[in-house]
Amino acid sequence: MRAIFESYSLSFYEGRKWEISKKIKGEIDAIVVCTVSKTLLIIQTKTVIAASNYRTVSNLQSNMYVAIEQIQRFNDLEPNKKNQILKEIIGEDISNYNIVNCVNSDGGIGTALIWDKLYSLNIVPFNMAVIVKYFNEHKDLFDFKTRMYLMIEELTKSVKPELRQCEINFDEYFDALTIFHDDVLADYDALAKDAINFHKKMSEVLI
């Protein structure tokens, strides 16, 4: 990731853990700075394999929720504390920079639930292929969030969405038939928990 951003004359900084108190702490994975546009990207990176079944979809969503939670935790800090943390990493005052929160995952972002969450919080999702495409069209980070959202929309329109049936196997929890679910808005984590709770309740009733 560093090599790609630096190839476009952008400054790349490895992230670090930050701590205000024992309860108020977190981690930033990477920071990219564009001095031309006065834009700073705060990036949470999740290395995951491409989701291909229920388990990997569930793991992917869990990782994305962790990334979102890390971003929100940093955003909840007072502006002067955020600026101080970023200044310690970058070595200069960035109080006049436009900060854009991002999530990077080359293994996919997740279901519609994750995408809706990201957009509602103004977080920019990307993988490195999308970043390369972005810089083929733009040479700086001016209006990065708006440009990225428009590019993602154009990419979405250029493909034909396909409803894919998801096979959910609960054998590891209890003896049950495999469930086939084709709702792209399904919250698979909640679905698994609900099924387990239902099984426990039925076991209690039948005893």
Can you tell me the distance from the alpha carbon of 63 to that of 65, in angstroms, rounded to the nearest whole number? 5
pLDDT tens, the chain, 207 aa long: 899 999 999 999 998 899 998 888 999 999 999 999 999 999 999 766 666 666 677 777 888 899 999 999 999 999 999 999 999 999 999 989 999 999 998 778 877 888 899 999 999 999 888 999 999 899 899 999 999 999 998 888 877 666 555 565 555 555 555 555 545 555 555 555 656 655 565 566 554
- Look up the pTM and report it: 0.75
Is 117 in contact with 67 (CB distance < 8 Å)? no
* Residue 95 phi, psi (nearest 5): -60, -20
